[in-house]
């Protein structure tokens, strides 16, 4: 006996083609996403991360140029932080980098992470409470992510060390591999850390417990007892009249 084929369910976004104009399409898209909260959070988180990442990249690239133009001797001085073996985790000792590049990297990272925190707290996860706790937790997470990204970025140096005769094109590929791996690792770690720790709605559980407690302690309305009247005694008048006669 042949199994009946399951009918293919239409995509919830199928109706987007019927919407006229970009504004209507975007509105329809986010209306559908309301039915899938986690997907909506992932979409908004990705969008805001891209916006913040672009602004961070601009600061990281432009600020060192301005600083080195203003004070070339100081800002071109080699700079390294957090020594690891023969080198540094944050290594700005190569030609063309220096203190100016480190400051651009640092200020760009702070700006990008701060903007990401503000946008995702208000728009993506919608958690207006416990701002101080969330800010501290996010700062710790951001520092750990920056360290992780920097450590993963060392993959580029390892690849180049294993292939010292690589062409410029191959070196660009090595750089892209390191950047992609570090970026994906940072994105996944940041999203999960925000969703389940930093931006978690801690208050929801407390509210449910408070509501349940209020229901248990609510006074019970007692209704007054119904008064039952005694039955009316019926006398036999006819029998009494006949006896009198």
Answer for the pair 138, 117: CB distance below 8 angstroms, yes or no: yes
Q: Quick check: is 105 in a domain?
A: yes
| Mean pLDDT lowest among 15-29, 109-123, 179-193 | 15-29
pTM: 0.66
Asked whether residue 101 is domain-assigned, the answer is yes
Give pLDDT, residue 25.
74
Assess if residue 67 is contained within a domain: yes
Any idea which of 56-60, 124-128, 136-140, 157-161 has the lowest mean pLDDT? Answer: 157-161
Query: Contacts by 144-148 with C-beta closer than 8 Å and gap 24+?
Result: 145/186, 145/189, 145/190, 146/109, 147/89, 148/182, 148/185, 148/186, 148/189
226 in any annotated domain? no
Q: What is the pLDDT of residue 33?
A: 77
pLDDT tens-digit map of 205-226? 545 544 555 555 555 555 555 5
pLDDT band of 45, cuts 50, 70, 90: very high
Range of the domain at 86: 33-201
User: pLDDT confidence of 160, banded at 50, 70, 90?
Assistant: confident
Predicted pLDDT of residue 203? 55
Q: Which residue, 44, 102, 59, is CA-closest to 78?
A: 102
Asked whether residue 7 is assigned to any structural domain, the reply reads: no
Residues forming a β-bridge with 92:
79
Instruction: Look at the chain and report how many structural domains it folds into.
Output: 1
Q: What is the pLDDT, as a whole number, of residue 244?
A: 52
In a domain, 178, yes or no: yes
Which pLDDT value is given to residue 242?
A: 52
């Amino acid at each position: 006996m042949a199994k009946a084929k399951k009918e293919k369910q239409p995509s919830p976004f199928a109706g987007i083609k019927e919407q006229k104009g970009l504004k209507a399409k975007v509105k329809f898209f986010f209306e559908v996403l309301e039915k899938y909260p986690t997907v909506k959070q992932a979409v908004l988180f990705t969008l805001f991360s891209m916006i913040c990442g672009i602004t961070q990249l601009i600061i990281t690239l432009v600020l060192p140029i301005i600083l080195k133009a203003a004070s070339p001797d100081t800002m071109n001085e080699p700079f390294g932080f957090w020594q690891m073996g023969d080198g540094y985790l944050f290594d700005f000792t190569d030609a063309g980098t220096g203190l100016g590049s480190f400051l651009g990297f640092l200020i760009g990272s702070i700006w990008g992470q701060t903007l990401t925190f503000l946008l995702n707290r208000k728009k993506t996860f919608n958690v207006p409470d416990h701002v101080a706790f969330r800010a501290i937790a996010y700062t710790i997470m951001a520092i750990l992510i920056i360290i992780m990204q920097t450590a993963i970025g060392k993959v580029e140096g390892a690849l180049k060390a294993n292939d010292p005769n690589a062409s410029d094109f191959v070196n660009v590929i090595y750089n892209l591999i390191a950047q992609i791996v570090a970026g994906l690792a940072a994105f996944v770690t940041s999203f999960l850390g925000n969703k389940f720790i930093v931006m978690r709605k801690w208050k929801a559980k407390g509210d449910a417990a408070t509501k349940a407690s209020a229901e248990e302690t609510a006074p019970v309305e007692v209704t007054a007892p119904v008064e039952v009247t005694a039955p009316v005694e019926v006398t036999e008048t006819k029998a009494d009249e006949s006896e009198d006669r």
